[in-house]
Structure 1
């Protein structure tokens, strides 16, 4: 069983940690391949309708999440586009990327905060400690994404990741 997510704010950074009951190479693979991301990325009730991954430094991951859960009211049918530009990849250990809200063409969404994310994957006796450090341009930008429900969304996303990892074993 994986552990609950730990979330803390350190200045302009949102730090998230969770231990997954899966080996490090499997957790890393779930983050680096489109066929896996399609199964778990996004909060419950949302699916990836678009997922293009060019997993290399300066490569781009462009995706669209769509709400398919009628119980989510005004969110039902809504699309949310995102784009990540990979900066550094250490196989099995680290992924560094800049994350943007975007449109369908991959243009950055004006007025929306971007973040510089460093994810580390640490082996712990057959389990994996995942740490995500998301740095924003300002405390206000970080607060804006927190106010949008970022923590709940990531909690649900990582819960879906834990379920997907079990299916990958």
Structure 2
């Protein structure tokens, strides 16, 4: 007897807790990856439209942490914390993201960087601890739009680097 549907129960449960955003960026994979690895780059593009970022500490290595504040356009400050759980240059970065170390509501994200001709396809796959936390991120914090805007900011930033490099 064959069974059709949404896949295994584990896949269905994961889908309820997951957000996946991707974008093709017109820049080499190594450059797009580098934009995630150095705080001098991150501070120039990280976050949705109208947000700025202030870094308190940054150490890009497995087990290292990025402690920062995102400043919203309405002047609200958002305490943020990331620890890197896997780094495979220039292919993959996995991280845990919350408000602070020990945040029980922290979510996991995996970013993959794949060549797409001369461009790079970046995929950001985020899994929340519960469906309710995912839904809250989507509805209250506009996580999907914010993620799309963040990748758009990244694309604009690395395109500017490429353009300046072409000018010599």
TM exceeds 0.5? yes
Unaligned stretches of 5+ in structure 2?
1-13, 163-168
Trace 1:156-167 onto structure 2 (pairs within 5 A): 156-167=149-160
Structure 1 partner of 2:89:
91
Q: How does 1:19-98 map to 2 (within 5 A)?
A: 19-50=24-55, 52-67=57-72, 69=73, 76-98=74-96
Q: CA RMSD in A?
A: 1.6
Q: How many residues align?
A: 148
For the 8 Å contact 1:38–1:51, the answer to whether it is kept is: no
**TM-score, normalised with respect to structure 2:** 0.82
| Contact map agreement 1:52 1:61 (CA 8 A) in 2 | yes
Distance 2:38 2:152 in 1: 18
Q: Any stretches of 5+ residues in structure 1 without a counterpart?
A: 1-8, 70-75
Runs of 4+ in 1 over 4 A off after TM superposition: 107-110
Quickly say closer, same or farther: Cα 1:51–1:128, change in 2 above 3 A. farther
Aligned twin of 2:142: 149
Q: Over residues 59-81 of structure 1, what are the superposed CA-to-partner deviations in whole Å (9 max), with x where a residue is unaligned?
A: 001111113x4xxxxxx221111
1:129 aligns with 2:121: yes
Structure with the greater alpha carbon radius of gyration: 2
Q: Higher strand fraction: Structure 1 or Structure 2?
A: 1
Higher mean Cα deviation, 10-19 or 85-94? 10-19
1:101 to 99, 102, 119: 99
* Greater helix share, structure number: 2
Where 1:153 maps in the other structure, the secondary structure is: helix
